[in-house]
Structure 1
Amino acid sequence: TPGFLMLSRYEKSALFFYNENDGQLGILSLVASDPDLQAQVVAAQGDFGFRLFSELLGEETGNVALSPFGLFLPLAVTCAGACGETQKSMALALGLGGLGLREVQEGHAALLRNLHEEDPGVLLHRACALWVRQGLPVREEFLSESRKGYGAEVRVLDINHPGALEVVNGWVREHTKGAIEQILERIDPETLVIVTSAVFFQGTWTVAFDREKTRPGPFFLPGGGTKTCPFMTRSGVYRYLKGEDFQAVAIPYGREERFSMYLFLPDPDVDLEDFIRSLSWERWEAWMQRFREREGTVSLPRFRLAYGAKELRDVLKRLGMGPALTPGANFCNLLEGEAYISSVVHRAFVEVREEGTEAAAASAVVVSRGMGETFTMVVNRPFFFAIRDDRTGALLFLGGVFDPEDVI
């Protein structure tokens, strides 16, 4: 007999069956609740971000920055349009594991609802858009799920119009408050669909650094040289962690202290690249549980970091996404006919001052045819940082600063 049963002691939704002959009650399946799915999506984003960041270090000689949250979004949308081995390779590369696409969409929708809650002193804006080639028959179910699960707006684009490129770049400019001028340099005539995402974060420190206390000081570069930078200094109570080969501090934003910048300073004999390559989501989460309030002093260089636009196809291939990035890919849930991902571009910007932080990121996926003792933490050598939503655990931005190139 079909029916529905709710048991208050179960922490997850469940589907039951009842046998009228013997009165036996059984469980057919357990369905993860929104908080469970949200946590799994956040973990996938973080895991993907750390793996991608490590790969980018091998290609760069300077500063690196990316938004795991911002880049994961358009790739997850595109993954929902894939089929077969193409979809499997994308899901594995994104760290989705055994999650089904519907579960990913529900988990991401729950995360977006959570992030929408306001925190005085913090502005977090995100946007996603699907640019569909004019006249292209895209499957309506794909468009509907993209709107529902990822908050994507669907726009028809005349690819061949001279102003098409400016329309897409103008959208990016608008949703990053001008921090990122453009994401694409050109639009190929064979382009079928473009998925763009934008993230803009503006947060004032819960307790600002006193500009009167900012002083010039040496920053020790990886090659052995030094650079004079303006160092902001503040004493107070922070969440702090002393690891085996690093020290770390969390500096909160806003009145609610929901968002924080995490600064990781490896010991002088530890290479920043080696430290970053050792990061994993499991290790990160374990560290988050070990932060404790302590009184101390933090000195941090004022800096601006601009990264990109970076073509990520080769890096994503190394992460296992190759089948989606080559002709012959299968995107049958998106449209009929041949299509593959011809370009994945990411750009990020982070600026840190006495008053707070401004950060922005934009991504485009193009689918084409075919409290103990006090501490002192002087961040005067290469360091790693992350901007994190402490309520959901979502990693909004990651960065590695080897040289504060743009002193402000």
Structure 2
Amino acid sequence: MQYHRSFIMGCLVRALGILVLAGCSMLQSSSLVASGVPLQTSGGTPENREKLSLAINDFGLDLLRTLTTDSGKNAVLSPVSIHAALSMTMNGAVGETAEQMRRVLHIDGMAAAETNNTWADLLVRLEKDNAAQTLEIGNSLWARQGIAFKQTFIATDRDSFGAQLATLDFAAQDAAEAINRWVSTSTHGRIATIVDKPPSNAILYLANTVYLKADWANPFEKKATAAMPFHRKDGAAIDMQMMRQGELMPYAENATVQATTLPYKGDKSEFHVLLPKPGITVEAALADLNGAGFKVLRDALTSARMAHVNLGLPRLDSEYSARLRNSLMELGMARPFDDHSAQFTAMADFSAPIFISDVAHKTRIKITEEGTEATAATLVMGVAGAAPPGDDPVHDLICDHPYLFAIVDHASGAMLFLGVVNDPTQ
């Protein structure tokens, strides 16, 4: 897999069948048959957008906790990407399989139609034109030629997620090339390949990509950047380049972290820094944070009186990849991965179960004095206006030890990217 500048992320889900299918009518088209833009954009409400955004954030925080336990490594996810890919897959699930997915995705309080309608609404709003930044989200389905997938499943993912559909001869050499071309195009070439030759029992790939390029509203001055030690959790001190800003910023804190917000140009999205307080590990800070808690902290930053903040943020160019099967099972999504009892009969009718083989997630983030560029690919196998603070104290927020960050859509509050930085040189 190749990673390039900035933030490159995404989710691709592959659903696998365990038998060779025969006697099924085939989907006739071998070309893309949907535009990639949700066709159904009505039905979303502010209340449901807030529910879905909280669900995305809760899920992302849950998942990140499973991936950061004593590893000492960076972990960067796109909650929006992974949640979208699994939500598309869930449209083919029934029974306990669907219920487990809904619980883990924190959408068990929403009906399926509500979830799909709200995703359609959210995707359109996320990609709403903004000249100051680029945010692009793509979804696609890649089906094995000759297998009759249920049209309700295909139509729902098309209408709600704008999922492009193609049928491919998975035995042909160019099958993986076709998927990789789509991923490369969707990520502006930042991810060149994500799929090798499909295994013999693969019947469907569900893919999501996220690409973000945004400049800071208030760039860091390059001449202020200087070498500083970063203290890793293992006690080692490593040299890294620390970017500096000292000005009026939003500032908030809770029992475990100090936080500030860096807006991007256009105010479409924002970068939140969450620095654990002395004596608090990044794992303890993460354990104390859920979607509602993050919203409280973000609301405090939004409404806070501007404060003098002495911010130090490392330059970062970090790659990350993970297989999410074990983490998702640990969170309670076991049955979808069971090759005997998974229930994806709303996807297609087979005499043996369709199941998810794995969920692959790859990211790269690059943070510089100018801004952030990020992109993701997931594969499932299936402030302002406050008076000056006067003589208020200066808050030092120097990220010279492990910290958390979140890149958030301003309007919805949904986490586009979420990460733990244990070593900015990784």
Q: TM-score category by the smaller chain?
A: 0.7 to 0.9
One-letter identity of the residue aligned with 2:277: D
One-letter identity of the residue aligned with 1:114: R
CA distance in 2, matches of 1:266, 1:89: 33
CA distance in 2, matches of 1:259, 1:344: 27
CA distance in 1, matches of 2:184, 2:103: 32
CA distance in 2, matches of 1:147, 1:170: 20
Q: Please say which of residues 382-391 and 156-165 is displaced more in the overlay.
A: 156-165
Do structure 1's residue 395 and structure 2's residue 415 form an aligned pair? yes
Q: Please say which of residues 285-294 and 72-81 is displaced more in the overlay.
A: 285-294
Do structure 1's residue 297 and structure 2's residue 310 form an aligned pair? yes
Contact 2:224 2:244 in 1 (8 A): yes
Shift in Å at residue 272 of structure 1? 0.9
CA distance in 2, matches of 1:214, 1:43: 36
Question: Structure 1 residue aligned with 2:333, among 321, 331, 334?
Answer: 321
CA distance in 2, matches of 1:339, 1:99: 25
Question: Structure 2 residue aligned with 1:53, among 64, 67, 76?
Answer: 64
Deviations 1:152-199 (A, max 9, x none): 111112111112122222222221222223323442111111000000
The aligned residue for residue 260 of structure 1 is 270
User: Which has the bigger relative contact order, CA under 8 A and spacing at least 6?
Assistant: 2
3-state secondary structure, aligned to 1:289: helix
Give structure 2 stretches of 5+ with no counterpart: 1-41, 383-387
Shift in Å at residue 61 of structure 1? 3.3
Shift in Å at residue 86 of structure 1? 1.1
Deviations 1:266-304 (A, max 9, x none): 122111112112211111111112112223221211111
Normalised by the length of structure 1, the TM-score is: 0.87
Do structure 1's residue 119 and structure 2's residue 112 form an aligned pair? no
CA distance in 2, matches of 1:49, 1:34: 22
CA distance in 2, matches of 1:33, 1:149: 11
Which contiguous aligned blocks of 4+ residues in structure 1 show a shift greater than 4 angstroms? Answer: none
Q: Which has the larger radius of gyration?
A: 1
One-letter identity of the residue aligned with 1:376: D
One-letter identity of the residue aligned with 1:263: V
Q: Identity rate of aligned residues, in percent?
A: 28
The aligned residue for residue 193 of structure 2 is 182
3-state secondary structure, aligned to 1:385: strand
Contact 2:137 2:211 in 1 (8 A): yes
Question: Structure 1 residue aligned with 2:400, among 380, 387, 405?
Answer: 380
The aligned residue for residue 270 of structure 1 is 280
Aligned CA-pair RMSD: 1.6
Q: Please say which of residues 392-401 and 320-329 is displaced more in the overlay.
A: 320-329
Q: How many residues align?
A: 371
Give structure 1 stretches of 5+ with no counterpart: 1-30
The aligned residue for residue 69 of structure 1 is 80
Do structure 1's residue 151 and structure 2's residue 162 form an aligned pair? yes
Instruction: Please show how residues 287-366 of structure 1 align to structure 2 within 5 Å.
Output: 287-291=297-301, 292=304, 293-308=306-321, 310-327=322-339, 328-337=341-350, 338-366=353-381
The aligned residue for residue 220 of structure 1 is 231
The aligned residue for residue 16 of structure 2 is none
Contact 1:180 1:349 in 2 (8 A): no
Instruction: Please show how residues 55-204 of structure 1 align to structure 2 within 5 Å.
Output: 55-58=66-69, 60-204=71-215
The aligned residue for residue 28 of structure 1 is none
Deviations 1:122-172 (A, max 9, x none): 110110000011111011111111111111111112111112122222222
One-letter identity of the residue aligned with 2:299: Q
Identify if the C-alpha distance between structure 1 residues 183 and 278 changes in structure 2 by more than 3 Å, giving closer, same or farther.
Answer: farther
CA distance in 1, matches of 2:218, 2:299: 23
Contact 1:35 1:110 in 2 (8 A): no
Q: Which has the higher strand share?
A: 1
Contact 1:68 1:395 in 2 (8 A): yes
